[in-house]
Structures are given as C-alpha cells and as structure tokens.
Amino acid sequence: MKNKTESLRLFENPILEAVTHVHPIVPLILWTPVCGWLFYRAIVIKGLGPVDMITWAFLGLFIWTLSEYVLHRYLFHYPAKSALGKRLIYLFHGIHHDQPDDATRLVMPPVPAILLMGLLYGFFSLFIPSLYIEAFMGFFAVGYLTYDYIHYATHHFSMKSKVGSYLRKYHLRHHHSKEASKYGVSNPMWDYIFGSVNGPKKESK
C-alpha cells in the first residue's frame, strides 16, 4: 500500500513524470492573465457593456457546469477497450481514483488543460458570434478555475461551511461509492437532471 504522501509513478522518463505533478497555484497563475486578456478584448476592444457582460457571465458559468459534468462522466470515465485507450483514460483520470489524496494531482496539468480549452474554444466559436466569444470563454475559464479549486479543496481541506461540507461529502462519495454516480464536482445539478445521483453498480476490478 502506497503512503498517502507518495505519488504513484506514471512515466519512467523524469521530464514526463514531472509534468504530471502540479502545484495548486499553477492554474491560477496560468489562467488569470488569460481571463484578463479575454475580458479586456470583450470590454475595451469589442465594446461590450455591463448587460452584455452579465449575460455572458451567466451563460459562460452555466455552460461550464454542463461541460464539467459531460467531460467527467463521458470522457474521464469512458469505458475504453483498447490498451492505448485504457492508458489514456488512466493518465487523465484513473490515477486520481487510485490515489485521490495526492495533492500534486488534484488540479489539471497545464498541457492537457490548454489543449482541452483550445478545443473547446474552437467548438464554441462555431455557435457563438465572434463579438461575444471572448466574454463567454473568459467566464467559462472562471468556471473551470472554480471547479479546479473546489476539487482541490474537497480532497485537501475539511470544508466546514454548509455548502463546502455538502460538496466535499458529495464528491468523496463519487470516489468511495460502489455505484457509477455523482459526477458533478462544483455542483450536483446535472446529476439530478440526468439521473446520475445514484447509478448502476460498478464492476469489480
């Protein structure tokens, strides 16, 4: 049994292994300037006013919660069949379930986070007019940061407040329940909408 403070090794190559470990401050350092740039473009360059920004704040944060749920349920828990697929899913998320209290793997590493955010930017650009895409993606990224730090807190802090305590217990049940359920991390709304608060029994490993 591994010590809680000892990380499971994913790569023999020390450089590849190093990039799988992330200090929790890294997402804030990486994404705060990106959000600032997106908001600058939305407000100063494209001239969006308070009503526009409030509207896209709601939409960006709302769509983030759905994206968080869909990514967690259908991508991170994808039942891959091939050896390569299983390896990729393990690198993305399986390692977290094997060692959920590893503080260096509770926030997403920069490389996959940038790639995923870039793909989502391109995807949302197909539907959202260019006038509003920066405002939307800025608030979408704020939603992502909120998720990342709620996730970190659920594993690393006691979270004494009523809301914090609820989210912590809810997420930890996702890890320790014998059912495939409770995919929401920053909130459980979509679990209730899609009926995954309680799910089918997991198969034994």
pLDDT, tens digit (0-9, with 9 covering 90-100), for 65-111 = 999 999 999 999 999 899 999 898 888 888 899 888 888 888 888 88
Q: Between 177 and 193, name the one with better pLDDT.
A: 193
Question: What radius of gyration, in Å, describes the C-alpha atoms of the chain?
Answer: 18
Examine residue 164 and state whether it is found in any structural domain, yes or no: yes
Tell me if 171 sits within 8 A of 151, measured CB to CB: yes
pLDDT for residue 3: 43
* C-alpha to C-alpha distance for 104 and 72, rounded to whole angstroms: 19
Determine, yes or no, domain membership for 19.
no
Q: How confident is the model at residue 205 (pLDDT cuts 50, 70, 90)?
A: low
Q: What are phi and psi of 179, to 5 degrees?
A: -120, 150
36 inside domain: yes
Question: What are the structure tokens assigned to 50, written together?
Answer: 């308070």
> Which of 107, 100, 96, 73 shows the shortest CA–CA distance to 183?
73
The parent domain of residue 104 ranges over 26-194
Distance CA 135, CA 40 (A): 9
What local confidence, expressed as pLDDT, does residue 181 receive? 92
Q: Which amino acid is at 11?
A: F
Mean pLDDT, the chain, whole residue set? 91
For residue range 112-145, what is the model confidence (pLDDT) as tens digits?
899 999 999 999 999 999 999 999 999 999 999 9
Q: Is residue 165 part of a domain?
A: yes
Q: What is the pLDDT of residue 190?
A: 97
Q: What is the pTM of this model?
A: 0.90
Q: Indicate the burial class of 178 (C-beta count within 10 angstroms; 0-12, 13-18, 19 or more).
A: exposed
Residue 71 lies in a domain: yes
Cα distances (angstroms) measured from residue 131 to each of 20, 53, 99, 203: 36, 12, 43, 47
Tell whether 8 is covered by a domain.
no
Task: Convert the pLDDT of each residue in 6-55 to its tens digit.
Answer: 788 888 888 888 888 899 999 999 999 999 999 999 999 999 999 999 99
Interval 176-188 mean pLDDT: 90
**4-40 as b/e, with b when 16 or more CB fall inside 10 Å?**
eeebeebeeeeeeeeebebeeebbeebbeeebeebbe
For 69, the token pair is: 């749920």
Within a domain: residue 201?
A: no
Residue 129 lies in a domain: yes
More confident of the two residues 109 and 59: 59
Q: How many domains does the chain have?
A: 1
Reading the block at residue 136, the tokens are 């939307």
